Amino acid sequence: MKYLFIAVLLLVSTNLSADTDPVWGGRRVLVIGDSLIAGNSGFAACLRECLKTAPASLFIESEIGARPRTFSKDNRLHELIKKHKAESVIIVLGMNTLRSPASVVRDSIRNLTYQLHGTECFWVGPPPLIEGADHLLKKYRSFVEPKCKYFDTSKEVKFSPKSVSGFHVKAWKGRRWAKAFLWWVFNQVPVERTIS
């Protein structure tokens, strides 16, 4: 039984890598975010592995405690896009704003997405790890779209108490979260981009 599980896991990983090829192949992808993608988090590790097989050039810029303002201040996102010559941007931000007023979050997201200047963008919404933040999680999509395609983590991924540590996602769950996001992206890109 243990070997069957490993075989299925390898098959799913292989298929995910193969399916990321037409989406990310040959692209320069910038990822910005907070501590949920810092260092060797499960989310970041999965992105590195899957996009490496595409092959894509991946650049991860993260800061502990980051918010949209962290990357909008001093035109930072625009400068990072230029520096890395990014064709796609993945934004993993929001966890540190879940206790902020909705108008502040909305305005900070607008200031950040303004710097995209047409660069393809995918926004990974924050996980539902803070009690009482449901009202803000429900508004995120309207704050982010149409500048970015919005992956609603709170609806697409379930987080059990054993999968988190405080306000952080454990590595194994971070990998599953990233895989759910990558599958979702595969279904979002225009057909003409996936056909060479």
Percentage of the chain exceeding pLDDT 70:
84
Residue 132 pLDDT grade (very low, low, confident, very high; cuts 50, 70, 90): confident
Phi and psi, residue 125, nearest 5°? -65, 160
Residue 150: its H or E element? strand 149-151
The CATH T-level fold of domain 28-188 is Rossmann fold (3.40.50)
CA distance 176 to 63: 22
Residue 194 pLDDT grade (very low, low, confident, very high; cuts 50, 70, 90): very low
- Name the least confident of 5-14, 150-159, 165-174: 5-14
Predicted pLDDT at 29: 96
Please, are residues 43 and 182 in contact by the beta-carbon 8 Å criterion? no
Crossing angle, helix 171-186 and helix 42-52, to 10 degrees? 40
Beta bridge partners of 121: 89
Percentage of the chain exceeding pLDDT 90:
59
- Give residue-wise pLDDT tens across range 95-125: 999 999 999 999 999 999 999 999 999 999 9
Per-residue pLDDT, averaged over 55-60, amounts to 93
Domain boundaries, the chain: 28-188
Q: What is the pTM of this model?
A: 0.84
Residue 44 CA: distances (Å) to CA of 39, 113, 177, 178, 194: 7, 21, 10, 8, 23
- Name the least confident of 31-45, 155-169, 173-187: 155-169
Indicate if the pLDDT at residue 92 is higher than 90: yes
